[in-house]
A and B are shown apart, each in its own frame.
Chain A
């Protein structure tokens, strides 16, 4: 499953990372190196094995459906690149 420059372009877009054209081949080479190394997993017998998504065996806790925190507009906005009147300000997204 070798990765080419076009695949890197597509995946970089999925990851939302702008990647200059002249970097695509370099990245493709690096990713192929890593994936070739990862391919040794094909040797493992995983027949009938359940995927392990967590190493905590307890079920996720449920909490009471009540408000526990909030009304912290100032704190929430304190690191915003731009804000005004209690809102985040983002660039125009609808033409």
Chain B
């Protein structure tokens, strides 16, 4: 019998519908992979085996009657920042260890409505603050990929490192993830998977543990562009419980696939280059242009002049919003409470010092600083103004281009421990992805090649607000042209 865990989401859904195999069978196959791999890869922080099998059997009953939703019977992994009713949700933090939500996030509720099966909760950087999964209170996730030239354990990226590692390592068909500055697209690029962040407001933030509310957006990590189109549609919905949710229809994005890119105008921003970027990443970008040109697209050189200011802008706005959002963790109503405090203030301060890890503390301190009296205008308001400049850069090119092609990351996956020397080095990982968050635009990372060590590299497609269809159309063309089929060699 074929290995069911190697199927794409689309392949599995077709097989389930045709009753070639049952949801229980494919669910058991994934649970067995997880049991064998998780002690090494550390992708799951909690495996919900009993719940998965119950959900799978319920799906099988529906499928037997010829019923079932868009994801019926498909076993998925859920990033541990989506609240799941009755299942511990920690956001990778000691602050929330033992926290069991009495309600379900809208995104996951949509998945269960469509018949998906939950395998468990996936590891992540603490409160999604990190680019390597090393800030997790559960320890780093390990990338299933290894370089041909070294045996070192590599990062799967972050913050959705567990999601990316689980998809690449065949520990789920696909996974939910979230992206505040690149946390879907950078891990996807590091693991040879596809990751899309939709337009801000497409997916509800209700029940997602908040990091930076004006930037946070949910999306999937999958094996193929088609899988991403199917999965994203289930995740998105208008939700009155999220004040920034967009009251728009969620289209069937699979309709955008297979159309080719003939006549599309693809922008190439001259600013998407950084010092020390490996030649292979530059060559892959050139190759991407060639593929699209050969497929009939028009390549247009463009300028997004404020690109270099996007990361410093982000590192004011995101910590500022985080310092406000994370003020809720006071040890009173839920979350960690310190013992033996001498006063109320001492209780707050000790609970938070014990509950939050170093990177979270660092960002909350920056956030409090840039919002404090005397510095609010100099940092926070200025960053909001530069943010508008960055958004205007995009507005200014949409009359000339239909989508933008960039590298996803400055490099391939790096070794765990490599970039912990100073925070800014780590922050630079998101240099090509963060602009889409600041401007609220959809962006996808597609695996398109490998570096000299055989590690995957990604190309990013950024589109207009609410125009995921064109993003998928271009991503599909890149996927077809790249024919990326490399898989990590199983060593775990």
B-contacting residues of A (Cβ < 8 Å)?
Answer: 1, 3, 7-8, 11-19, 27, 30-31, 33-35, 37-38, 40-41, 43-44, 46, 49-56, 58, 60-61, 63, 72, 75-76, 78-82, 88, 90-91, 93
8 contacts between A and B (CB under 8 A): A14-B372, A31-B366, A34-B315, A44-B386, A53-B214, A76-B333, A81-B332, A82-B337
Contact A52 B388 (CB under 8 A): yes
Cα A17 to Cα B378 in complex, Å, equals 24
B384 within 8 A of A: yes
Residues in A neighbouring B315, C-beta threshold 8 A: 34, 37-38
Give bound CA distance, A61 to B347, whole Å: 38
Residue of B nearest to A27 (CB): B365
CB-based contact B353/A49 at 8 Å: no
**Closest Cβ–Cβ distance, residue A40 to chain B (whole Å):** 6
B460-492 Cβ-contact flags toward A at 8 Å (1 or 0):
000001000000000000000000000000000
Whether B362 is near chain A, meaning CB under 8 Å from some CB there, is: yes
Are A34 and B102 in contact (CB-based, < 8 A)? no
Q: How far is the CB of A45 from chain B (nearest CB, A)?
A: 8
Contact with A along B152-186 (1 / 0, CB 8 A): 00000000000000000000000000000000000
A30, A46, A50, A52 — which one has the most chain B CB atoms within 10 A of its CB?
A52
Q: In the assembled complex, which residues on chain B have CB atoms less than 8 Å from the CB atom of A81? A: 331-332, 334-337
B349 touches A16 (CB 8 A): yes
Q: How far is the CB of A46 from chain B (nearest CB, A)?
A: 4
Q: Would B423 and A91 count as touching, CB distance under 8 A?
A: no
Q: Which one of B13-21, B251-259, B306-314 contacts A?
A: B306-314
Is B240 a contact partner of A63 (Cβ separation < 8 A)?
A: yes
The 6 A-B pairs with the shortest beta carbon distances in the complex, nearest first, are A55-B440, A51-B384, A79-B334, A75-B102, A52-B388, A18-B349
Contacts of B332 in A (CB 8 A): 81, 88, 90
Residue-wise interface mask of B (383-396) relative to A, using a CB-CB cutoff of 8 A (1 in contact, 0 not): 11111110100000
- A78–B102 Cα distance when bound, in Å, is 8
**A49 to chain B: which residues have CB within 8 Å?**
385, 388-389
- How far is B308's CA from A30's CA once the two chains are assembled, in angstroms? 21
Partner of A31, one of B365, B382, B387: B365
Using a Cβ cutoff of 8 Å, how many contacts connect chains A and B?
155
Binary contact readout B349-373 vs A (1 if CB under 8 angstroms, 0 otherwise): 1101100100001101111110010
Complex: A35 Cα to B367 Cα, angstroms = 11
Question: Is A11 within 8 A of B331, CB to CB?
Answer: no
Contacting residue for B344 out of A13, A54, A76, A93, CB 8 A = A93
Question: Would A11 and B368 be within 8 Å (CB), given that A17-B349, A56-B200 are in contact?
Answer: yes
Partner of B341, one of A14, A15, A91: A91
- Chain B interface residue count, Cβ-Cβ cutoff 8 angstroms: 71
- With A16-B348, A16-B352 known as contacts, the answer to whether A52 contacts B385 (CB < 8 A) is yes
B70 contacts A by Cβ under 8 Å: no
Query: Given A38-B379, A81-B331: A50 and B385 within 8 A (CB)?
Result: yes
Interface residues of B in 310-344 (CB under 8 A from A): 312-313, 315-316, 323, 327, 330-337, 341, 344
Inter-chain contacts of B330 with A (CB < 8 A): 16
- Whether, in the assembled complex, B422 has its beta carbon less than 8 Å from a beta carbon of chain A, the answer is yes
Which residue of chain A has the shortest Cβ distance to B319 in the bound complex?
A34
B423 and A33 contact, CB distance less than 8 A: yes
If the complex has contacts A17-B353, A18-B353, A78-B100, are A44 and B309 also in contact, measured as CB distance less than 8 A? yes
CA distance A63 to B241 in the complex (A): 10
* A27 cross-chain contacts in B, Cβ below 8 A: 362, 365
Complex Cα–Cα for A44 and B381 (A): 13
Closest to A61 in B: B243
Hey, which chain A residues are within 8 Å of B352, CB to CB? 15-18
Residue B300 lies at the interface, judged by CB distance under 8 Å to chain A: no
With A41-B309, A46-B382 known, 7 other A-B pairs at CB within 8 A are A31-B366, A38-B379, A55-B440, A61-B240, A79-B99, A79-B333, A81-B337
